[in-house]
Amino acid sequence: MRQTLTFWLRRAWVNLRGEVLVLPSRTLVLAWTASLLLLPLVYPDPYVLRVLALTCLFAIFAASWDLLGGYAGQINFGHSLFFGVGAYGSSVLCLRLGLSPWLTVFIGAGLAALSGVASAFICLRLRGSYLSLATLAFPLILTGLLFAFPDFSGGELGISGIASLAASRTANYYICACAMLVVVFGLAALADSKFGLVLHAIRDDEIAVRASGLNTTRYKLAAFAISGAAAGLAGALFAHLLRVAGPSTLELALSFQVVIWGVFGGLATIYGPVAAVFILYPLTEWLGSFRQFGELRLLIFALVVLVVLLAMPRGLAPWVRDKIEMVCARCKQRNIAWRTSCRLCGAPAGPRVDGVAPAAAAQSPR
């Protein structure tokens, strides 16, 4: 038993040193993950834990939008539909039927996935801005239906008195943080797989993908379903964290907010929108704690977003990564920006162009 444990610890250290610590971006992700998990042990302030728990849920929401809008190119202006379906679905099942919130959270995510497939089935004949405007209508339709049946949905007041997933704030925080880490890393792995490559190709040239024999409609339906499930999970956790599900979960402002997070962090990166949420949401909450700022916090938020987008047109995450890493032109692997040669193929690093270091011509066979 002791030898087995030693073997797995040594293997984990080798993988950590050889795959994670070799690149600054992966090291930053590791440090960010460790800080999230260790924060309650170091600084268990209830307000901070509540803000960061909400930040984790909105990070799931932003990552789900990036898979659909960034990778697949299906810009969805009604993404709050999935968030609201997850919140209301889990709340109704928990409060009206008395089911366990640990079960209703996943049922709410499943309902959101079904709503994603339904909305995609209706809208996928449209392209570009027409698709975006069509998706804008779905949260409004659902909000109208909820207001039409106030005895069932609570009307404008929503549903309150929902059971919480855990009794303590620290436990609720860990639930939200762990769910965020699992979903974000899962979506990142999915985006780096063959499925993500096909979504990239659909975004760039759907006709060419169809000509190669792939069913693009099936892939886009899958993207809507996966994105809806992730956003619905965030909405269900949001409802059980605050113990209320109201029309605010379907607001168009939330849909536009997630678009801002995606563009601010960097499209088709997964980690970019997550980083944007962890910067912008706590910033707005912190500014709101000062009475003298008042409504100026929205102006400050807009100025921060505008300055970043002007200085970093591709988003925050790609800009930072290009500054600290470079891509070898020979083997296409990333290296630390200040290395003089590639860590894998040994090609010398030349002058960088947009984060790419061309291999020296002297190393190529003549």
User: Rounded to whole angstroms, how far apart are CA atoms 339 and 341?
Assistant: 6
- 303 vs 172 pLDDT, higher one: 172
Adjacent-strand bridge partners of 359: 349
User: Rounded to whole angstroms, how far apart are CA atoms 108 and 89?
Assistant: 5
- Domains and their CATH numbers in the chain: 38-311 (1.10.3470), 324-366 (no CATH)
The rounded mean pLDDT for the chain is 89
Nearest-5° angle of CA 283, CA 302, CA 136? 105
Query: Tens digit of pLDDT for each residue in 330-353?
Result: 887 888 888 888 877 888 875 554
Mean pLDDT, residues 303-312: 88
DSSP symbols for 287-349: HHT-TTTTTHHHHHHHHHHHHHHHH-TT-HHHHHHHHHEEEETTT--EEETT-SB-TTT-PBB
| pTM for the structure as a whole | 0.92
Mean pLDDT, residues 49-64: 97
Given a cut of 50, whether residue 179 has pLDDT beyond it is yes
- How many alpha carbons fall within 13 Å on the CB side of residue 266? 17
Position 316: which residue type? Answer: L
Q: What integer pLDDT is reported at residue 354 of this predicted model? A: 54
Q: How confident is residue 365, by pLDDT bands cut at 50, 70 and 90?
A: very low
Given a cut of 50, whether residue 246 has pLDDT beyond it is yes
The tokens 């944007």 sit on which residue? 276
Given a cut of 60, whether residue 364 has pLDDT beyond it is no
Given a cut of 80, whether residue 42 has pLDDT beyond it is yes
Q: How many helices (H) and strands (E) does the chain have?
A: 16, 5
Tell me the range of 19-33, 118-132, 180-194, 338-352 where mean pLDDT is highest: 180-194
User: Rounded to whole angstroms, how far apart are CA atoms 334 and 342?
Assistant: 8
Q: How many CB atoms lie within 10 A of CB 205?
A: 10
Task: Please check whether residue 255 is in contact with residue 21, taking contact to mean a CB–CB distance below 8 angstroms.
Answer: no
